[in-house]
Structure 1
């Protein structure tokens, strides 16, 4: 079973969202997603200052098996990008919920995590995939 921390929200596209305060959230892909992808060899991320609507692609992750787009779970502006993934994309495999985070965004006015899945809902969703 995949690791699904209770301190964040999830999407059906296998992204996680962690509220960090000050109207910001950190975004990454789930442990389940990184296991499905296999060994990650490259991560393409947006630039700080780029703006996204919810559901819009914000980057991609390339593994030895495939290339997968990462979607912005919420509307906002990129405040920070995990630059360490340029040299160590495998961090997404080894620490998907920690050092393998992708971007931090400042939420657009009115954008909330209310419509995202709880950890329990996400666990149920991925268990139906098996």
Structure 2
């Protein structure tokens, strides 16, 4: 029952497939599973993303578009655990060899963890912006704020639209 609960977000059918699939096939499906979960990320027009991972805990990072626009990230300043953030607050900075950019919180809440690996190895933002290169974790204060953010499909349409992003 716990297994099914953990996979309720991706559907009962996917959970059943994973529970009876040999280990090698599970590894082969990792890319498919990642794309299913990616649809649950929400994006801002400033190119941050947020993904709820459990209860009111969420992970925040920057999009692939943002990391490509920045270029090679060489410095990351992230919010400290315990910091209270409001939606759209400036809460950090990323610097690359060609630009610097502020990081804005896509949601309100309390920072519960920063990704110290990114501060030590900022290039993780470029090589793995959705997995290893996340920026911080937050305990959501108002989960309804997520509804106003773009889904992955809406974000793709936003990027495709004319205008400066």
TMscore range, shorter length: over 0.9
Task: Report how many residues are paired.
Answer: 127
Structure of larger gyration radius: 2
Q: Give TM-score, length-normalised by structure 2.
A: 0.73
CA RMSD of aligned residues (A): 1.5
1:122 equivalenced with 2:155 (yes/no) = yes
Alignment of 1:27 with 2:26, yes or no, is no
More strand by share: 1
Quick one: which of 117, 139, 148 aligns to 1:106? 139
Q: Distance in 2 between matches of 1:69 and 1:41?
A: 14
- Structure number with greater CO (CA < 8 Å, separation at least 6) is 1
Of the three residues 103, 109, 119, the one matched with 1:86 is 119
Instruction: List gaps (5 residues or longer) in structure 2.
Output: 1-34
Please name the residue that 1:51 is paired with.
84
Moved over 4 A (4+): none
Moved more, 13-22 or 27-36: 13-22
Q: How far off is 1:127 after superposition?
A: 1.2
The structure carrying a bigger helix percent of its residues is 2
TM-score of the two chains, using structure 1 as the length reference: 0.92
